[in-house]
Amino acid sequence: MRIGVLTGGGDCPGLNAVIRAVVKTAIHQYGDTVIGFRDGFSGLIKDKTVPLDLPSVSGILPRGGTILGSSNRDNPFRYAERRNGQATQSDVSDTVVETYRKHELDCLIVIGGDGTLEIAHKFTAKGLNVIGIPKTIDNDLSATHVTFGFDTAVNTVMEAIDKIMTTAESHHRVMVVEVMGRDAGWIAISAGMAGGAHIILIPEIPFDMERIAEQIYTRKGRGKHFTVIVVAEGAKAAGGDRIIKRIVEGSSETVRLGGVGDMVARELEELTHLEARCTVLGHIQRGGTPSAFDRILSTRYGATAAVFAHEKKFDHMVALRTPDIAAVPLSEALHQMKRVPPTGGHVETARRVGISFGD
């Protein structure tokens, strides 16, 4: 077979491990030819390719990012560009089909999150054979138990909390750590529990500033003169809404969240008269070498995707259904966000060990 591969959306640890596994399985097991498309769907729109052979994927297992490059702005069905100084959007999906045909592809493996996989699904209606691989540090795709990149992001945040914990205790401060996750609190609750945070604020449980202040006073009454709060970027106060940092036109995710950590720190200073500081971890959560768990999961995803290509399981996505890797129809995998259940196991365990959710 001739197999194409692209990585779309935001980067995350494990992308290179997936690419490596696709290439090594396709070549070792089937003798296939693999072609990489650069910078997400832009590579198909502009025919930017790179041959993927065994030497090209040698040594990339531990590397973060993606050797193919990525983009979350190049939706072929709403391709944004400037003409005569004016911003325009046009449908260039037929150009993608032409590129696919030009390279005589038998299958296109698309590695990405909800937005990227939705685009991939649309191309099946245009006759392309597509297989999806789920990628997001947010872990918010419902069709798979875990997405690769999540474990590494959680470990990155946990290490940051470990460091912030010591300075919080030394200076008797309230320290707020804002983390990614958009409308799902998986990173916040997982890293918060692992790092020993005292308060965790997630989108699924609206918080009350007075209740957070009460928790801080309760800790002071026990002789604990510092508090570490982990807040997901999509968390919101009861009766309030998410804090939007900016709008980015042309992106698959136009709404960029951010600022809730600063708001929490500022309001807590006013309520408690204690010194509060906020640290926003930002894109550090996307970077770095993947954890052992993510390397293994990425390898399983990539290798299985190559097998599914030969089994003609097109318009499907590989998914972890512990302990197996299964094929899930893309139509079922999309638009079903997996959020933290407010009464589920993670929240219940956290409450049992004294963690507050500000409610």
Q: What is the DSSP letter of 252?
A: S
**181 and 130 co-located in one domain:** no
CATH number of 111's domain: 3.40.50.450
Q: Where are the beta strands (DSSP E) in the chain?
A: 2-7, 33-37, 49-52, 79-83, 86-90, 107-112, 130-134, 174-179, 199-201, 227-232, 244-247, 255-257, 276-280, 316-321, 324-329
Residue 294 · residue 17 · CB < 8 Å? yes
- 45 found inside a domain: yes
Which pLDDT score, from 0 to 100, does residue 254 have? 66
* Residue 108 C-beta-side C-alpha neighbours within 13 Å: 33
Number of domains in the chain: 2
Residue 171 covered by a domain = yes
Q: Are 279 and 302 in a shared domain? A: no
Token pair of 67 as six digits: 């050797």
Residues 21 and 79 in one domain: yes
Bridge pairing between strands 255-257 and 244-247: antiparallel
- Residue 331 in domain: no
Q: Which pLDDT belongs to residue 114?
A: 87
Residues 11 and 125 in one domain: yes
Same domain, 16 and 29: yes
- Which residues contact residue 312 at a Cβ distance below 8 angstroms, ignoring those fewer than 6 apart? 129
State the Cα–Cα distance between residues 258 and 182, nearest whole angstrom. 9
pTM listed for this prediction:
0.91
pLDDT (0 to 100) of residue 84: 73
Please tell me the predicted confidence (pLDDT) of residue 71. Answer: 86
Same domain, yes or no: 303 and 162: no
Q: What is the CATH number of the domain that holds 232?
A: 3.40.50.460
Question: From the centroid of its chain, how far is CA 337?
Answer: 12
Residues 126 and 160 in one domain: no
**Is the Cβ–Cβ distance between 263 and 245 less than 8 Å?**
no
Q: Which residues are catalytic?
A: 138
248 & 183 share domain? yes
Structural domain including 38 reads 2-148+290-322
Residues 121 and 60 in one domain: yes
In a 13 Å sphere around the CA of 44, the CA atoms on its Cβ side amount to 33
Residue 178 domain-assigned (yes or no): yes
Q: Are residues 222 and 346 in the same domain?
A: yes
Statement to judge: residues 244 and 171 lie in one domain: yes
pLDDT at residue 337, rounded to an integer: 87
Q: Is residue 329 part of a domain?
A: no
Domain assignment of residue 113, yes or no: yes
Instruction: Give me 84's structure tokens.
Output: 């005569």
What is the mean pLDDT for each group of 10 consecutive residues in the chain (359 residues)?
95 96 98 97 96 96 94 87 78 96 97 92 96 94 92 96 94 94 94 97 95 93 94 91 70 72 93 93 92 97 98 96 95 87 95 95
How many CB atoms neighbour CB 331 within 10 A?
Answer: 13
Considering the domain boundaries, does residue 223 fall inside one?
A: yes
Element containing residue 41 per DSSP (H, E): none
Tell me, yes or no, whether 336 lies in a domain: no
CB 34 within 8 A of CB 89: no
> Are residues 283 and 314 both part of a single domain?
no
